[in-house]
Amino acid sequence: MSDPKKEGEGLKGAAFSGGKSSLETVLGFLKRTLAEGCFDALLLPVKAPGGDSFPYVLVQDKALLEDRGSPLPPIMPVQGGKAVSSLTRRGKAPRKVAALMRPCEVRATIELFKLAQVDLENIFLISIDCPGVLPVKDFAADPEKGMAAFGEVLEKWGDRKVRPVCQICHRFTAPLSDDGAGMVVDLHIGLLGIEDGEVLLIPYSPAGEEILAKLDLVPAAGGDILSAWRDRANELTKKRGEERRRAQEEMKSKVRGLNNLLETFDKCINCHNCMRVCPVCYCRLCYFDSEAVKHPPDDYLRRAGDWGSIRFLPDTILFQVGRMSHMSLSCVSCGTCEDACPMDIPVAQVFSLVADEAQEYFGYLPGRSTDEPIPLATYKEEELEEVEDAPQGASSETKEKDG
Amino acid sequence: MADKEYNPKIVGFLCNWCSYAGADLAGSSKLKMPPAISSIRVMCSSRVDPVLIVTAFLRGADGVLVAGCHPGDCHYEKGNYYARRRFALLRKVMETLDLEPERFRLSWISASEGPRFKEVVTEFTEHIKGLGPNPVKEKTSL
Ligand code: SF4
Ligand code: SF4
Ligand code: SF4
C-alpha cells in the first residue's frame, strides 16, 4: 500500500471497454489482471449459487470470476472492511491480493488498518463508483425483484429504493480533487457519466499506476471521459451533500433529547447485531457483551426500588450511546448496522448523524489517510480548552479543530 | 423542581495521584463544601471509559465530575491528554443527541489544591442545582 498522490500531480484516467455493460467490462478488466499475473487472487463479491446473496469470495479461478463475480452487487451482506480484516488480521497476505469494494468499505478497511486489524501489505485496494445498495432484507425476500430494482438503481443513480444512508451518501466515489486526497485507494473504477460498456480506471497510488502500466493502459490527464466522470461525480456529490444535511436535520428532530432517543430505540431487542456487523466495532469482546455489564440481582432490585421499575434486558440506551462514544470517529456511514437490525431501527441514520458531528469537531475523516491517527489515539498538549472546567461559562457551540 | 433542600447526587471520578489527594487535603483541612459528591478513586483520568459516565447518568446521577492531574503533570505522563480527547468526544455525542452534556464536568486538580477542589465541587454543585434533577429518573423503559 502506498500513499495517495502528491499534490498537484493531477488525476489521470484510462478508459477501458470490451463488455456489453460497464460491469461486464469491470469483470473483463479483473480477468486480465489475473491473467497477466498482476495479482494472485481477487477478493470481491460473488453471486451465491442460490442467487440470493453476494458474499465476499477470494477468487483465483477465472471461470468463477467470469460466471459469478459481482463487482457491484445489489446488497452489502458483509462489509468489505470486515472481509479484508478476516483475511489479514493474523498477518499480511503471503501473495498479492486485490480487493474490490465500495468506497465506504475501503474507508472502513483503512480505519481497521489504523486499529491494527488489517495488514495492507500485499493488499491492493480497488474502489468503484457506488449507486447505493438495496436493504438486504428487501432483497432476500424476493431476489428476482431485487435484481430488477437494482437495474433501475444503476440507471438512475438516485433511486429511493436504496437504503436511507445510501440515499444521502456523499462519498460514493473516489476523491475528485487534483491531489487525490480524501481516501486511500490504489485504483478507482469510475462509472458515472460514462457510456455503458466503458469504464474509467483512475490510479491513486504508484501501485495503481504500475498495474495499469503492466496492462499497457496509459492513463491520460484531462480528456473527455475523465472530465465527464468528474463533472457528473461533482454534481452528484453536491446534491447528496445537500440531501444529507436536510435528512440529518430531520433525523435530529426525531432523535434528540432523552425521550426521543428512548422512543427511537424502544423496539431494540438487545441482540447487538448492529455492533457485530459493524466494521469498525472490532473488539474481540465487546464491553456490552462482557461481564462488566452483568450485575447481581440485588443491583437490579435496588434500581427497580429506586425508580419503581427496570426494563429487561437492561441497558439498551447505555449500549447505544456507549457504542457511539467508542467508535463514532471511525464510523463510515456504511449502513451495515441498520441492515442487520431485525427491528428496523434507523441505527445507521442515527450513528452517522452523531459520527458526522464528531468527525467535523475533530477535523477527522475516516479512511482519508493511513498516516493521520484516529483522534483518540493521539493528542496535542494545548487543545480542547473548551472541555476543561466546562460547563462553567461554556456554551454548546463547537469550535473547529484540526485533529 | 424548586424545593427546599434539593441535594443533587454527583459522581466524582478522581485520579489517585492528584485529584483524590486534593480532595483528601480539602477534607483534612476541614474546608466546608456541599456533601453532594460521591468519590470514586481511579488510577488515572484516562481509566474512565466514557461508558462509565453514561452509566452514571443513566442510573440517575445528577452530575458527573472527572478530575485528574493538570496537563503536563500526569503520573503516567499523558493519560490526561488522552482523557481530554475522549471526554471531548463524549460531550459532542451528548450534545448532538441533546443529552444534557452540561451535567458533565472535567477539571484538573492537583494534590496540593485542596481549596481548588472545594471550589470546583461548590461551583459544580450550584450549577447542577440550577439544572435540577436528572430527568432520567422519570423514565421506566431504560
Ligand atoms: S455504526 Fe453502522 S454505519 Fe457506522 S460504520 Fe458501523 S455499521 Fe457502518
Ligand atoms: S461498542 Fe465499544 S466495546 Fe463494543 S465492540 Fe464497539 S468499540 Fe468495542
Ligand atoms: S440490531 Fe437493532 S435490535 Fe439489535 S441491538 Fe442493534 S438496535 Fe437493537
In SS3 terms, chain B reads as: CCCCCCCCCEEEEEECCCHHHHHHHHHHCCCCCCCCEEEEEECCHHHCCHHHHHHHHHCCCCEEEEEECCCCCCCCCCHHHHHHHHHHHHHHHHHHCCCCHHHEEEEECCCCCHHHHHHHHHHHHHHHHHHCCCHHHHCCCC
Categorize the per-residue pLDDT at A310 as very low, low, confident or very high, splitting at 50, 70 and 90: confident
Tell whether ligand 1 has an atom less than 6 A from the beta carbon of residue A352: yes
Q: What is the pLDDT of residues A224-253, one digit of tens each?
A: 999 999 999 999 999 999 999 999 999 999
Q: What is the pLDDT of residues A50-62, one digit of tens each?
A: 999 999 999 999 9
Q: Residue B135: closest CA among chain A residues belongs to which residue?
A: A258
Cβ distance A379 to B84 less than 8 Å, yes or no, reads yes
Section A120-141 average pLDDT: 97
Q: What is the value of pTM for the model shown?
A: 0.94
What is the best residue among A130, A171, A278, A288 to mutate for testing ligand 1's pocket, by most ligand atoms within 8 Å of CB? A278
Tell whether ligand 1 has an atom less than 6 A from the beta carbon of residue A247: no
A402 touches chain B (CB under 8 A): no
CA of A362 to the centre of ligand 2 (A): 20
Is the dihedral angle over the CA atoms A382, A386, A387, A393 positive or is it negative? positive
DSSP symbols for A90-105: TS--SS-EEEEE-HHH
Burial A181-194 (b: 16+ CB within 10 A, else e): bbbbbbbbbbbbbb
What domains sit in chain B, N to C, each tagged with a CATH number?
10-132 (3.40.50)
- Per-domain residue ranges of chain A: 14-248, 258-386
Separation in Å, CA of B41 to nearest CA in chain A: 18
Question: CA-to-CA distance for A324 and A354, rounded, in angstroms?
Answer: 8
Residue identified by cell 441535594 is B7
Q: What is the pLDDT of residues A374-392, one digit of tens each?
A: 999 999 999 999 999 987 5
Question: CA-to-CA distance for A44 and A276, rounded, in angstroms?
Answer: 21
B131 touches chain A (CB under 8 A): no
Closest partner CB to A328 (pick from B91, B93, B106): B93
Starting at the edge strand found earlier in the chain, the sheet holding A123-128 runs A56-59, A41-45, A97-101, A123-128, A187-190, A198-203, A12-17, A220-221
Query: 3-state class of A59 per DSSP?
Result: strand
Interface predicted TM-score of the whole assembly (ipTM), two decimals: 0.94
Q: Which ligand 3 atom is nearest residue A347's CA?
A: 7
Q: What is the pLDDT of residues B46-61, one digit of tens each?
A: 999 999 999 999 999 9
pLDDT of residue A396: 37
Across chain A, mean pLDDT equals 93
Q: What is the pLDDT of residues A160-196, one digit of tens each?
A: 999 999 999 999 999 999 888 999 999 999 999 999 9
CA of A275 to the centre of ligand 1 (A): 8
Categorize the per-residue pLDDT at A95 as very low, low, confident or very high, splitting at 50, 70 and 90: very high
Collect all residues with Cβ–Cβ distance below 8 Å to B106 and sequence separation of at least 6. A387, A388, A389, A390, B45, B65, B66, B67, B68, B83, B84, B87
